[in-house]
Amino acid sequence: MPSSIHPSRLRFSLASLLLVAGPVAAQPAGPLSPSAEDVVRLALERSPAVAAATRRLEAASASLGGARAPFNPQAELAPGAGFT
């Protein structure tokens, strides 16, 4: 049994290994772990409690506009009546 490898076979094996390993090594390591700001932002966006509080705040802001309306509304009357 020969204990040496033929040089052309060694070159072919080495070239095949480099062709396969090159693109694998060039791939990115994968997604980075999110930052603390990203985690907090996602938690606030997806939280049902935060969504409910936001809706309550919007409703309170809308009713505040009605509360700021004039207390005694004024109306103008003009003489005359007509039918067409």
Q: How far is CA 28 from the centre of its chain?
A: 22
Q: Which residues of 7-43 are buried (b: 16+ CB within 10 A; e: fewer)?
A: eeeeeeeeeeeeeeeeeeeeeeeeeeeeeeeeeeeee
Q: Would you say residue 3 has pLDDT above 70?
A: no
Delimit the domains of the chain by residue range. Answer: 34-63
Contact 44, 50 (CB under 8 A): yes
- The 10s digit of each residue's pLDDT in 7-24 is 787 777 777 766 766 666
Total-model pTM = 0.39
First vs last C-alpha separation in the chain: 119
Which DSSP category does 68 fall into?
T
- The 10s digit of each residue's pLDDT in 22-78 is 666 555 666 778 888 999 889 888 999 989 999 999 999 888 877 777 676 677 777
* Predicted local confidence at residue 1, as pLDDT: 46
Q: What does the block give as tokens for 66?
A: 């009605």
